[in-house]
Amino acid sequence: MKSPQPKKQAAQSTKQAKPTSQQAPEQVSAKERATLLKALQVTQAQGPIVEMGCFQGDTSVLLAKFGRPLYLYDSFAGLPPKTTEDTSSAGQNFRAGELYASKKQLLERFHKAHLPRPFVKKAWFADLTPQDLPDQIAFAFLDGDFYDSIATSLALVTPKIAPRGVIVVHDYQNIELPGVAKAVNQFLAQNPNWHLQVRADLAILQK
């Protein structure tokens, strides 16, 4: 089966890159959350959930409610610098250091929601090794914002995706974050056994 051609990146941005505070806006829209949860609900693969780029844990607490082991990865240092692949004529948002959240903020969300504490690894994605991730992954949500972060995340999780497992990438059609689609499209070109569906700004990848 041939992968469908990626749609043009015409959707409006769903994020607002503002200095993070306790009242920071949610980074994943309600429609995107519903699409994400539906993709997880129908996943038949066995294994834990991985989230690469968890910010303050808005989606993390939703993923935790499915009762699977949850592995979270984030620098907790804000965004890294952009590369040329991330240059956008739509604006100059998403600068280095923005969208900062602490590991403490994340864990407080789980405590307040009365959810089990997840595995949390504080690191830049480029510093992670395959040993830092679980041996098998049923579902991965990648929200790295930039080309390098998404490309690195894909390289880390895809070898560990279980049969019938799913990868969901945020911001695929976000015109302010063009590096995301570039990384996903490059991955698909190099891995034709993976197939793409686009729903609500999310790239859903599955073999």
Give 141-177 pLDDT, tens digit per residue: 999 999 999 999 999 999 999 999 999 999 999 999 9
Domain boundaries in the chain?
A: 30-206
Q: What is the DSSP letter of 181?
A: H
Q: What is the dihedral of CA 133, 138, 141, 142, to 10 degrees?
A: 50
User: In this structure, are strands 137-142 and 195-199 parallel, antiparallel, or unpaired?
Assistant: unpaired
Q: What is the CATH number of domain 30-206?
A: 3.40.50.150
26: confidence class by pLDDT, cuts 50, 70, 90: low
- Which amino acid is it at 79? L
Copy the structure tokens of residue 102. Answer: 């602490």
Copy the structure tokens of residue 189. Answer: 């070109």
d(CA 54, CA 41): 20
pLDDT tens for residues 116-143? 999 999 999 999 999 999 999 999 999 9
